Structure 1
Amino acid sequence: MTTAHDSATETKNRIAALEVATPQRDLLMDGLYRLLRNRASVVGLIIIAIFVLGALFANFLAPFSPIQINSGKGFLPPAFVEVGPNGYKSDPAFLFGTDTLGRDVLSRTLYGARVSMVVGFVPTFIILIVGTVIGLISGYRGGWVDNLLMRVTDVVYAFPDLLFFIIMMITLRDTFIGQMLNGLFLLFSSLAIVSWVGVARVVRGQVLSLKEKEFIEAARCIGARDSRIMFRHILPNSLGPIIIISAMTVPGMIITEAILGYLGLGLRPSTNPKDFFITSWGSLLLEGQTAINAQPWLLLLPAICVSLIVLAFTFVGDGLRDALDPRLQGTQ
């Protein structure tokens, strides 16, 4: 005779056999296949890989130290220009010329990629963690918890992001926090504090649409804890939108760092050749703006790099959206 305990055990085993991990893995593999069939996304991935490798191995790829001052070689034009607008002749050793102090522009741009890549990925990771947790709790709990968290989200969302970044950098720049990692810690914190609201709203919407599904009800019936339901069943089924929004967040962080650096509020320039973070593309844009007539490539090269990396992430984000959208299944 089958007992109630045996019946519950059998039901639990069936639920485990139909765990969401397998279809979710199939969905992700199918999404990866569809992503790699998108030519624009592949080009974007290649560009991102080039910049990441260039940032990691800048000390091997850079022809000069980014802080090396070459006496008498200030404002040299790029090697592919015989004579620059200032009348100076180019030097083949400096592919993109030099700045006002004779520092190699290409080397400084390669080292500047380190800051932009880190600023793109680290704050985005923090934003995803905070936004996902708040969205999960808000959507799953509902009631006064949902109302409280969403009102906090609305308040944070209403505050102008760029203004908040500027206030934080100006106020705390000369404090102990502002000096950590040459100012990168303060920059990470500023970017993450007010940028999680979009992720929280997306995750909350996903949770609201999933928490009444049959497989969630089945998990409740077998006594699964709320934390397991949220992180083992609901979260894996919400990964598609989270992955897409993360790909769109990274270029936003890079642009924000470039803006703050251009305003003189970004990374503190370092004069120690052993430092991993020495300069940033935003700082190079500020330097190039003052020398646009004497050495245009001092401004153009970091500007082109920012444009390329943002465009690459946009291609990848669009490709991920198409690859992970279930409504497009079978159309590619």
Structure 2
Amino acid sequence: MPDAAPSRPGQAKTARRQSSFKALEFILGVILVGGIGLAVLFSGFLFPGGGSAVDLAARLTPPLVDMAHPLGTDPLGRDVLARVIVGGEISLTVGLVSVAGAVVIGVVMGLVSGYYRGFWDVVVMRFADVQLALPFILLAITFIAIVGGGLINTIVLLIVSQWVQYARLVRGSVLSLRDREFIQSARAIGVRDIKILFQHLLPNLLGPVIVLMTLNVANNILLEASLTFLGLGVDPTIPSWGGMLAEGRTYLQTAWWVSVFPGLAILLTVLGLNLLGDWLRDTLDPTGRTRV
């Protein structure tokens, strides 16, 4: 015991440093995500035309040359700043809605599979194993070839490809909780299964699920941009970050800003969401806390 005393000041200093870093992560994440979210939320007020106004006389204007177009214009003379902010609505909608759909399906499947086990558990988990073995791009190409592209189909594709992550996560947690004393007590006094699942088990699983949700929103924004870039995602006539990257790839040497600014918007949004996800993981996971 006496040998441990000298290390306590060092442990306290390390804990303070880690706490400061967590706070910085949270602040930067809120600034990035909050700033971009507010800009997208008020995009209709800031840019009533939706960034679709064409001005061929001002086509490919560089940034900071014309204050009417601070980030320059694209090959059709459309304002890049307006299209980046308006396009963020599509990318954020895809990220948020697809994650919400995957969470609802995956959590329900995981709860039922882990709680009841048996035949239902075997069917769901084997189906999940098969789906996880499929490369995402193969699943995307097959899905788009059958049902077509578009905003709704892109969201459905992401839901179909990601619900298994939540199902496996929730099932594993339920298996470790279903035989605990508070669950057995609830069964003993006649609490219905539906109430046990959603009032006793689900609240104990929300931490890891929330962390995975935050990270998957960022991942889905990247996937939507990638699919749209490849021509498999959102309709190219609708402004989106991936579509803008695809449009500007032929102008990289002569008009770099057409692709760089939507790419920068993706980078900052994903960075902010990842910072918030890391902060949530450290905050909600008690095993990750430094004890002094």
Between the two proteins, what is the percent identity of the paired residues? 40
Aligned partner of 1:281 in structure 2 is 241
SS of aligned partner of 2:179: coil
* Structure 1: gaps spanning 5 or more residues: 1-33, 80-89, 271-277
Confirm or deny that 1:91 pairs with 2:66.
yes
* Structure 2: gaps spanning 5 or more residues: 1-18
SS of aligned partner of 1:264: coil
In the TM superposition, 1:112-131 aligns within 5 A as 112-131=87-106
Q: Which amino acid aligns with 1:315?
A: L
In the TM superposition, 1:45-64 aligns within 5 A as 45-62=30-47
Confirm or deny that 1:321 pairs with 2:281.
yes
CA distance in 1, matches of 2:20, 2:125: 33
Q: CA deviation at 1:64?
A: 6.0
Confirm or deny that 1:209 pairs with 2:176.
yes
Q: CA deviation at 1:38?
A: 2.2
Would you say the 8 A contact 1:269–1:279 is kept in 2? yes
Q: Structure 1 residues 331 and 313 mapped into 2: Cα distance closer, same or farther (>3 Å)?
A: farther
Aligned partner of 1:192 in structure 2 is 159
Aligned length: 274
SS of aligned partner of 1:194: helix
Q: CA deviation at 1:101?
A: 0.9
Aligned partner of 1:109 in structure 2 is 84
Would you say the 8 A contact 1:184–1:267 is kept in 2? yes
Question: Pairwise CA RMSD of aligned residues?
Answer: 1.9
CA distance in 2, matches of 1:269, 1:66: 14
Aligned partner of 1:297 in structure 2 is 257
Q: CA deviation at 1:159?
A: 1.4
100-109 or 60-69: bigger deviation: 60-69
Would you say the 8 A contact 1:35–1:319 is kept in 2? no
Q: CA deviation at 1:37?
A: 5.8
CA distance in 2, matches of 1:218, 1:302: 54
CA distance in 2, matches of 1:254, 1:318: 17
Aligned partner of 1:136 in structure 2 is 111
Confirm or deny that 1:158 pairs with 2:118.
no
Q: Which one of the candidate residues 123, 132, 143 is aligned to 1:168?
A: 143
204-213 or 144-153: bigger deviation: 144-153
Would you say the 8 A contact 1:109–1:301 is kept in 2? yes
Q: Which one of the candidate residues 258, 263, 268 is aligned to 1:308?
A: 268
CA distance in 1, matches of 2:133, 2:115: 24
In the TM superposition, 1:229-308 aligns within 5 A as 229-270=196-237, 278-308=238-268
Q: Which amino acid aligns with 1:316?
A: L
Confirm or deny that 1:77 pairs with 2:79.
no
Aligned partner of 1:25 in structure 2 is none
Greater radius of gyration (CA): 1
Q: CA deviation at 1:294?
A: 1.7
SS of aligned partner of 2:232: coil
SS of aligned partner of 2:205: helix
Would you say the 8 A contact 2:228–2:236 is kept in 1? no
CA distance in 1, matches of 2:30, 2:275: 8
Q: Which one of the candidate residues 23, 33, 50 is aligned to 1:38?
A: 23
CA distance in 2, matches of 1:189, 1:165: 11
Structure 2 length as normaliser, TM-score?
0.89
Q: Which has the higher helix share?
A: 2
Runs of 4+ aligned residues of structure 1 deviating over 3 Å after TM superposition are: 34-37, 62-65, 328-332
SS of aligned partner of 2:114: helix
Structure 1 length as normaliser, TM-score?
0.78
CA distance in 1, matches of 2:190, 2:21: 41
